[in-house]
Amino acid sequence: MHIAQGLMKIMSVKKLTSAGCRVKIWIADWFAVMNNKLGGDLKKIRIIGEYHKEIFQAAGMNSEKNVEFLWSSDEINARGDEYWPLVMDIACRNSLAKIKRCMPIMGHSETDELSAAHILYVCMQCADPLFLQADICQLGMDQQTVNLLAREYCDETKRGNKPVILSHHMLPGLLQGQTKMCTSDPSSAIFMDDDEAEVNRKIRKKAFCLPKIVEGNKCLEYVKYIILPWFSEFTVERDEKFGGNKTFNNFEDIAADYESGRLHAKDLKDALSKALNKILQPFRDHFKTNNRAKNLLKQVETVLKQDQKTTVIPTAPSKEMEEALSVNAPSSSAGLQMSEEAERKYNIVRSIGEECIQEDELKNLLSKKPTPICYDGFEPSGRMHIAQGVMKVTNVNKLTSAGCQVKIWIADWFAQLNNKLGGDLEKIKVVGEYFKEIWQAGGMNPEKVSFLWASEEISSKGDKYWPLVMDIARRNNLRRILRCGQIMGRSETEVLSAAQILYPCMQCADIFFLEADICQLGMDQRKVNMLAREYCDDITRKNKPIILSHHMLPGLLEGQEKMSKSNPSSAIFMEDDEDAVSEKISEAHCPERTVAGNPCLEYVKFLVLPRFNEFVVEIDGGIKTFTSFEDIAADYESGALSNEDLKKALIKALNIMLQPVRDHFKTNERAKNLLEQVKLFRVTR
Q: What are phi and psi of 190, to 5 degrees?
A: -90, 130
pLDDT value at residue 418: 86
> 442-481 pLDDT, tens per residue?
999 988 999 999 999 999 999 999 999 999 999 999 999 9
Report how far residue 82's alpha carbon sits from residue 482's, in angstroms, rounded to the nearest whole number: 28
Residue 277, amino acid: N
**What's the rounded mean pLDDT across residues 649-666?**
95
The per-residue DSSP string of 596-647 comes to: TT-HHHHHIIIIIHHHHS-EEEEETTEEEEE-SHHHHHHHHHHTSS-HHHHH
Q: What percent of the chain has pLDDT over 90?
A: 77
CA distances from 201 to 174, 186, 237, 282 (A): 12, 12, 18, 20
Tally of residues, the chain: 685
pLDDT value at residue 319: 57
> 397-418 pLDDT, tens per residue?
999 999 999 999 999 999 998 8
Res. 383 pLDDT band, cuts 50 70 90: confident
Residue 505 reports pLDDT greater than 60: yes
**What's the rounded mean pLDDT across residues 342-371?**
95
> 104-134 pLDDT, tens per residue?
988 888 899 999 999 999 999 999 999 999 9
Nearest Cα to Cα of residue 83 among 433, 481, 469: 469
Res. 64 pLDDT band, cuts 50 70 90: low
Angle formed by the axes of helices 643-667 and 669-680, nearest 10°: 120
Say what the pTM is.
0.89
> Strands 546-550 and 355-357, how do they pair?
antiparallel
Q: What are phi and psi of 642, to 5 degrees?
A: -85, 160
Report how far residue 438's alpha carbon sits from residue 451's, in angstroms, rounded to the nearest whole number: 13
pLDDT value at residue 44: 95
**What's the rounded mean pLDDT across residues 633-652?**
96
